[in-house]
Amino acid sequence: MRIRELLEKKPRAFQDAVVRVLKSSSSSRGAQFVVSLLVASDYLMPTLCDPALSLEEAISLAQSALQADPMMDVNLAKKLADNVVLGGQTRNAARLLDILGKISTGNRITSSLMRLLRTTDPQLRSKAVLLIGRGSRSVKWVQNRLSESDPRTRANAVEALWDVDTAEARELLRKAGRDGNNRVAGNALFALYRMGDTWVFDELFKMAASESPMFRSSAAWAMGETGDPRFSETLGRLVGETNAIVRKRAFAALARIKTAAKARQGREWRVAGRLLPGSGSTRQFRLEAGPTDGSAPPALVATQFILSVDGRLVVQYQVDTRAQAETLAVIFLFPRIADSASPPWVQGALECLPWKRPSDLWCATFYMPMGETSQAPPDSPPFTADRDAAATALQKAPSKMDCPGFWDAIRDSVQAASAPARGTRHLIAYSQSCAAEPTDMAEIVSAAMSSNTSVQVISPTRNAPLEELCRRTKGSFLLASSEAESSKLVEEAHLTLLSRFMVSCQPGPAARELNIRVAPTGWGETTIPL
pLDDT of residue 168: 96
My answer on whether 335 and 397 are in the same domain is yes
- Per-residue pLDDT reduced to its tens digit, 88-134: 888 999 999 999 999 998 788 999 999 999 898 999 999 999 999 99
My answer on whether 366 and 471 are in the same domain is yes
- Answer yes or no: is 120 within a domain: no
Compute the average pLDDT of residues 209-233.
97
Structural domains of the chain, count: 3
Amino acid making up residue 352: C
The Cα–Cα gap between 150 and 496 comes to 50
My answer on whether 336 and 440 are in the same domain is yes
My answer on whether 336 and 485 are in the same domain is yes
My answer on whether 337 and 426 are in the same domain is yes
My answer on whether 317 and 375 are in the same domain is no
- Domain region containing 504: 268-322+499-530
The Cα–Cα gap between 239 and 258 comes to 15
- Answer yes or no: is 185 within a domain: no
My answer on whether 355 and 344 are in the same domain is yes
Q: Report yes or no: 191 and 162 within 8 Å, Cβ to Cβ.
A: yes
pLDDT of residue 9: 63
My answer on whether 443 and 353 are in the same domain is yes
First-to-last CA distance in the chain? 80
My answer on whether 260 and 360 are in the same domain is no
pLDDT of residue 498: 85
Compute the average pLDDT of residues 189-198.
96
Compute the average pLDDT of residues 476-505.
90
My answer on whether 455 and 510 are in the same domain is no
Task: Say which residue, 158 or 435, is predicted with more confidence.
Answer: 158
Domain containing residue 361: CATH number: 3.40.50.410
- Per-residue pLDDT reduced to its tens digit, 328-350: 999 999 998 876 668 999 999 99
My answer on whether 303 and 388 are in the same domain is no
Confidence tier at 426 by pLDDT (50, 70, 90): very high
Q: What percent of the chain is predicted at pLDDT more than 90?
A: 59
Task: Say which residue, 268 or 225, is predicted with more confidence.
Answer: 225
Compute the average pLDDT of residues 225-235.
97
- Per-residue pLDDT reduced to its tens digit, 243-265: 999 999 999 999 999 999 999 98
Domain containing residue 526: CATH number: 2.60.40.10
Confidence tier at 323 by pLDDT (50, 70, 90): low
Q: Report yes or no: 381 and 413 within 8 Å, Cβ to Cβ.
A: yes
What distance lies between CA 177 and its chain's CA centroid?
23
Can you list the pairs that 72-77 forms with residues at least 24 positions away whose Cβ atoms lie under 8 Å? Answer: 72/39, 72/44, 73/100, 73/103, 73/104, 73/108, 73/109, 74/104, 74/108, 74/109, 74/112, 76/44, 76/45, 76/48, 76/100, 77/104, 77/108, 77/109, 77/112, 77/113
- Answer yes or no: is 387 within a domain: yes
The answer to whether residue 4 scores a pLDDT higher than 80 is no
The Cα–Cα gap between 91 and 344 comes to 70
- Answer yes or no: is 299 within a domain: yes
Domain containing residue 203: CATH number: 1.25.10.10
Average pLDDT of the chain to the nearest whole number: 89
Confidence tier at 473 by pLDDT (50, 70, 90): very high
Confidence tier at 389 by pLDDT (50, 70, 90): very high
Compute the average pLDDT of residues 133-138.
92
The answer to whether residue 32 scores a pLDDT higher than 60 is yes
The answer to whether residue 11 scores a pLDDT higher than 70 is no
Of the listed ranges 29-33, 118-122, 262-266, 282-286, the least confidently predicted one is: 29-33
pTM above 0.85, yes or no: no
Q: Report yes or no: 312 and 506 within 8 Å, Cβ to Cβ.
A: no
My answer on whether 229 and 358 are in the same domain is no
Q: What is the DSSP string of 109-162?
A: THHHHHHHTT-S-HHHHHHHHHHHHHHH--HHHHHHHTTSS-HHHHHHHHHTTT
